[in-house]
Amino acid sequence: MSKHIITISRSYGSGGRQIAKALSREMGIHYYDKELMTMVSMEHGINMSIVNNADEKHEESRFKKYSSQEIESPSSKKYLSKDNIFNMTAGIIKDIAEKEESCVIVGRCAHFVLKDHPDVVRIFIHADYDDLIENAIKYDGCDREEAIRRIEKINKERAAYHRYYTDHEWNDARCYDLCLNTSKIPIEKCVTAIREFLDLIDSLK
């Protein structure tokens, strides 16, 4: 198989993280998710709590669009800003895409950061609302009330984060190469569908 940098964007409760992990296991390639934020913390010497506070969250809903800005120096007042941490994360994502033979990267607008990379394959995982609730209960061990609260809060944050940095709506199919609804296709079959999609891409090269 050719090199593929697979980015997976997902609505909370859709099973996107489970699909990403299963895909990385089956393909024998690295998986990057929360590890990205640990890498930002270690590489730039920023407390993990500050990094986590910026992770896929943004209170702004206006459009900004990622512009490959230089990372601020430690002496700058903007060094610990969410925008600067986004730029740090984007830099690490780009380094990973260059160094890895193939890998899976979850969230953090990786699909947009790498939009010009020749080997990127951009995937969006979503599900019907009732299934988001059931999956949140199943995978995160929360009750129905907490599942609904998390779905509303986390998906709102992810949507604002995506809108702010990419100038596009989070669930806009035009941002992705493949969209999968886990209400229609079971998680294990989604992994199969992605692998078949990668094979198709390879066959057309």
Q: What is the pLDDT of residue 109?
A: 95
What's the mean per-residue pLDDT of the chain? 92
User: Mean pLDDT over residues 4-26, rounded?
Assistant: 97
Confidence band for 14, pLDDT divided at 50, 70 and 90: very high
Burial 104-133 (b: 16+ CB within 10 A, else e): bbbbbbbbbbbeebebbbbbbbbbeeebbb
Quote the pTM value.
Answer: 0.92
User: pLDDT per residue over 109-124, tens digit each?
Assistant: 999 999 999 999 999 9
Q: What percent of the chain has pLDDT over 70?
A: 94
Instruction: Specify whether the CB–CB gap between 168 and 124 falls below 8 A.
Output: no
Domain spans of the chain, in order of start: 5-203
Whether residue 131 is predicted with pLDDT greater than 60 in this model: the reply is yes
pLDDT 10s digits, 54-109: 887 766 655 565 565 789 889 899 899 888 999 999 999 999 999 999 999 999 99
User: 126 pairs with which residues across the strands?
Assistant: 181
Which CATH superfamily hosts domain 5-203?
Answer: P-loop containing nucleotide triphosphate hydrolases (3.40.50.300)
Could you tell me which residue, 65 or 142, shows the higher pLDDT? 142
Which pLDDT value is given to residue 149?
Answer: 97
pLDDT-based confidence at residue 205 (cuts at 50, 70, 90): confident
User: What is the SS3 assignment for 186?
Assistant: coil
| Residue 47 in this model has a pLDDT that exceeds 90 | yes
